[in-house]
């Protein structure tokens, strides 16, 4: 079905899963609802206007080779959980007057057309985001105007490799996440970079070189606060630094002094520091983690703990673990993950643990069977 002229919609128009509507031009008016379970394709440079109507999108809306789409009369666009809006065009969706709203719990993507050219799309209406808004390389979404509000809610995620240009009223208790699940990248924010104490900044770190870790580049003067989450995909070393936020000038910086991340059996502690133009994470501590895959099947502890000269090691395993418990060894690691002692043969009965030449500090003990980690615990040596 093609819409090329005006459509008076006073009731509900349903688009089934296997069907599509091509909106090529004209005005949709009348106070009705379009329920899309299939495909709505907005294309051509002809004028398009939605007046006093609602779109419930459970399927896909594609915007390609299109001009400005105008909203008027209190329009509502609900991009629901299964809904996808993909924008492969310059132009925009803009209102003629305030009071037009998009509610997103699905996915909105500003995609590249493959030419490598800058792609800009205006989103000038009230937008409540509880889903994902994603921007591709060399693309930007612009939320401009003092009479509109961009509300990134608690479950809302702003992510990608392009740029958000925001001069609208901006409230944010959601997440900023550069790059994608599969790749690190830089996410640019022009003008207003809004954060709250509840906001989350999520970064992937896969190496120490530029481009191997996520960055938020702010063309502005932000006040930074909230929570930082780091997802590690490699093993950094002590002293490695990652400038994850850059800005013209950072006006204030309110984060915990330390955060931690886990990778390949080790816990990494990062110190957060801010200077005038960047926020930097530095690795300041590495310890062996204490994840225990078989925690429901075993009992493993040392007493007394802290250990002064010797202590009793208690290790009991369920019958289901018997095949693994035939060849048990005890491994002792210091706080940097270096193995400092190994006892090749122990039993499931009590074993006396001697302090020996261990210096004071924290140690990680692991029970292994043929290189399978069965249990982990921490001890303090005095």
Residue 291 in tokens: 């994840």
Statement: 298-381 belongs to CATH 2.40.50.140: no
Omega before 335 within 30 of 0, i.e. cis: no
Tokens 């960047």 sit at which residue? 278
**What's the length of the chain?**
382
One digit per residue, pLDDT tens: the chain, 382 residues? 888 889 998 899 999 998 999 999 999 998 999 999 999 999 989 999 999 999 999 999 999 988 899 999 999 999 999 999 999 999 999 999 999 999 999 999 999 877 767 789 999 999 999 999 999 999 999 999 999 999 999 999 999 999 999 999 999 999 999 999 889 999 999 999 999 999 999 999 999 999 999 999 999 999 999 999 999 999 899 899 999 999 999 999 999 889 888 887 778 889 999 999 999 999 988 776 554 444 456 778 888 888 888 888 887 766 545 444 467 788 898 877 788 998 887 765 567 888 999 998 888 888 887 666 777 888 888 8
Tell me what pLDDT residue 348 has.
Answer: 57
Provide DSSP, 261-299. Answer: EEETTEEEEEEEEE-SSEEEEEEEEEEE----TTTTTEE
Max Cα-Cα span within the chain:
89
* HSE-CB of 254 using CA atoms within 13 angstroms: 11
Is-contact 16 37, C-beta < 8 A? yes
The number of angstroms, rounded, from the C-alpha of 182 to the middle of its chain's C-alpha atoms is 12
CA 268/CA 259 separation, integer angstroms: 8
Distance CA 191, CA 194 (A): 9
How far apart CA 257 and CA 261 sit, in angstroms, is 14
Residue 378 corresponds to which tokens in the numbers above?
């921490």
The pTM for the full model equals 0.77
Residue with tokens 């994470």: 281
List, in order, residues 6 or more apart from 319 with CB less than 8 Å away. none
E-strand stretches of 74-131: 76-79, 84-88, 91-95, 101-104, 107-110, 119-124, 126-129
d(CA 315, CA 346): 9
Which tokens belong to 29? 């008016």
Residue 245: predicted pLDDT: 98
């Amino acid at each position: 079905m093609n819409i090329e002229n005006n459509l008076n919609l006073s009731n509900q128009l349903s688009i089934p899963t296997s069907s599509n509507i091509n909106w090529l031009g004209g005005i949709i008016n009348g106070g009705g609802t379009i329920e899309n379970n299939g495909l709505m394709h907005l294309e051509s440079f002809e004028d398009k206007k939605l007046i006093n109507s609602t779109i419930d999108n459970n399927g896909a809306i594609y915007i390609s080779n299109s001009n400005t789409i105008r909203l008027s009369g209190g329009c509502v666009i609900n991009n629901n959980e299964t809904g996808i809006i993909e924008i492969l065009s310059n132009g925009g969706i803009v209102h003629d007057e305030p009071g037009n709203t998009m509610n997103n719990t699905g996915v909105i993507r500003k995609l590249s057309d493959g030419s490598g050219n800058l792609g800009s799309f205006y989103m000038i209406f009230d937008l409540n985001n509880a889903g994902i808004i994603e921007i591709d390389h060399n693309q930007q979404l612009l939320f401009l105007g003092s009479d509109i509000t961009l509300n990134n809610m608690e479950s809302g995620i702003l992510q990608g490799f392009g740029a958000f240009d925001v001069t609208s009223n901006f409230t944010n208790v959601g997440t900023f996440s550069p790059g994608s699940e599969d790749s690190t990248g830089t996410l640019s924010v022009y003008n207003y970079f809004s954060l709250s104490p509840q906001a989350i900044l999520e970064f992937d770190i896969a190496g120490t070189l530029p481009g191997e870790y996520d960055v938020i580049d702010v063309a502005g003067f932000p006040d930074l606060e909230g929570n930082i989450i780091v997802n590690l995909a490699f093993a950094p070393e002590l002293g490695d630094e990652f400038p994850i936020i850059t800005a013209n000038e950072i006006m204030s910086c309110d984060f915990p002094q330390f955060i931690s991340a886990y990778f390949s059996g080790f816990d990494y502690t990062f110190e957060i520091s801010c200077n005038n133009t960047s926020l930097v994470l530095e690795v300041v501590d590495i310890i062996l983690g204490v994840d225990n895959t078989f925690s429901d099947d075993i009992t493993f502890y040392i007493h007394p703990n802290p250990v002064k000269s010797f202590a009793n090691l208690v290790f009991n395993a369920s019958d289901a673990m018997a095949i693994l418990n035939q060849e048990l060894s005890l491994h002792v690691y210091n706080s940097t993950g270096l193995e400092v002692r190994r006892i090749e043969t122990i039993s499931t009965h009590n074993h006396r643990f001697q302090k020996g030449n261990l210096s004071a500090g924290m140690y990680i003990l692991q029970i292994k069977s043929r290189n399978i980690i069965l249990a982990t615990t921490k001890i303090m040596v005095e």
